Amino acid sequence: MTRERSQLVAWVVLAWGALAALVLVFGGIQFASFLRNPNMDVRIYYDAALALRNGENMFAAWNPESPLTYIYPPLLALIFLPLTYFDPSTAAAAWTVVNVLLLALIMLVGGREVMRRCDGRLDALTLPLMLLCSFLYFISRIKAELDQGQVDFLVLAFVVLALVLIRRRPVLAGLLLGVVANIKYQTVIFLPYFLVRGWWRALGGLCAGVVLAAFSGATILGWELNLDYLRRAFNGVFALFGADNPDQDAPMIFPTDWVESVSLTSTFARWSPALGWGESGLLPMVAGAALACFLLGWWIYRSVGVPLFQGRGGAAGRSDPAHDLPVLIEWCGLMVAAIAFAPQTKMRHLAVLMLVVIFMFQLLLVHRPGVPRWPLLVGSVLFLAGLMLPMQGGEGGWRSDGGLSLREYWRAQGGPIWCLLLMYFTLVWTGLKWVTHAPRLDRSGGPTPGAPRR
C-alpha cells in the first residue's frame, strides 16, 4: 500500500469514527436524560398513544406538568402504541434510539443519493467528510430534535427514501410521501409538484398513501372514532388559518401569529396588524413572498440555462445529470418552502432540512471546474449566523418594546427563515451550474476529450 493510500485510509477511518462518535454521544446523552425526565414533546405522543390504548380522548392534556396536547391525525399515536407498554421514561429513551437510527439512515442513504445525483466518481473520503461537516454545521438543530424526542427525522427519512425510489418505483415513492403526510403535513407540498411535472404514478401513490394512512386507524379504533379524530385534527389545522373550531375539546393549537413561530406566514401575521392592515394583510403578504421566491428561482434557471418547465414533464423515469440534479434541487426547495411558509415553524422543525445541508456540503467540498463556490459559501455562513445569532442575552440583555430579548426579536421577524432562503437560492444557482458544467460523455461512455473532470 502506497503512502498516499495509507493516508487516505487513515482519514476515512478518522472521519467515519468522528461522525459515529458524535452521533452516539449526542444520542447517549439524550437517552440518559430521558431516563431521568421524559417531559418533552415525546411525552405528548406517548400520552396520546396511551389514551388510545385505554379508550380515552387522545387530544386531552394528560401530562399534569404541561398543558400541551396531541394535535395530529391518529397515525403517529398508533406508531407509539408499542411504547406504551413501558413507563414514560423508558419509552422516551427508546424513541431516542429510534431517532438516532433514523438520523443515521438519513445521512447514509441521503448522502449516497446526493452523490449519485451529482454524478461523479469520488474518493472514499468524500461521503464521510460531507456527512461529518453536515452534522457539525447543523448540530444545534440535531440536538434540539433529539432533546425534544420529536418526529421530524421520521418525516425526513420517508422523504429521502421517496427520493431514492422516485425514478424506479414512483408509485411507492408517492405512497411513502402520502403516508408520512399523516404524521406531519409538510409532504402535502409534493402534490402540486407532481401535478405540474406530470408524474401521474407518483401523484396517484401520494393520494393513495394519504387516504390509506388516514383510515388505517379504523382497524384499531373503528370507523366512527377514527373519522372523529381525523375531523378534529383537520379542524385544528383550519383554525390556524382563522376558521372557527367547532370542537369544545379541540386540541391545543397556538395561533398563526404565535411569537415562537419563525415562519414567514407567522411573521406576516405579526407584521400585518402592526402595519395597520389587520388580518386582511396576511394572505397578500404570503402570496407576494411566495410569488417573489418562485420568480427568483425561475430567473436563476433561465440565467444559468437550465429549463424549469420545457422538456421537464414526466421526467421521473429519467436517469441523467441533466434531470437528476434539478430534481434534487427542487425536492430540497419543497422542504424549504414547507418550513418557510408553514402556518407554524419552531426552530426545532428546521431539523427536517438535514438533506438540504448534506447537499450544500456536497457542492461546497467537491470542486467542479467552472463552478464558483463562494456564493454558496457566503449563503451557508449567513444561514448559520441566522440560526445561532444573536446570542441569548441574560436579564440585563437588550429588550425590545415588546419585552423580547434580541434573539427572540430576531426570530419574531423571521430572521432565520430569511437567511435560509438566501442560502437556498445560492444553492440553486450553484447546483444548476453543476448541471451545465457536467462532463460530457462520448458513445463509449468515457469523458469527451477536453470535457471538465472532477
Say what the pLDDT of residue 317 is.
45
Say what the pLDDT of residue 244 is.
62
Residue 447 in domain: no
Domain that holds residue 359: 3-436
Say what the pLDDT of residue 22 is.
96
Please give the distance of CA 428 from its chain centroid, rounded to a whole number.
17
Q: Which DSSP helix (H) or strand (E) runs through 422?
A: helix 415-436
Among candidates 367, 449, 438, which has minimal Cα distance to 126?
A: 367
Say what the pLDDT of residue 246 is.
61
**Strand partners of residue 399:** 405
Residue 454 in domain: no
Say what the pLDDT of residue 446 is.
42
Say what the pLDDT of residue 392 is.
63
Cβ proximity of 343 and 263 under 8 Å: yes
Say what the pLDDT of residue 398 is.
44
Say what the pLDDT of residue 314 is.
65
Distance CA 376, CA 360 (A): 8
Residue 453 in domain: no
- C-alpha gyration radius of the chain: 23
Helix (H, G, I), strand (E, B) or coil at 173: helix
Please state the domain count of the chain.
1
Say what the pLDDT of residue 247 is.
62
Residue 43 in domain: yes
Residue 96 in domain: yes
Distance CA 395, CA 206 (A): 49
Q: CA angle, corner 339, sides to 151 and 272, nearest 5?
A: 130
Which ranges of the chain have pLDDT less than 70? 1, 120-121, 239-251, 313-322, 392-403, 440-454
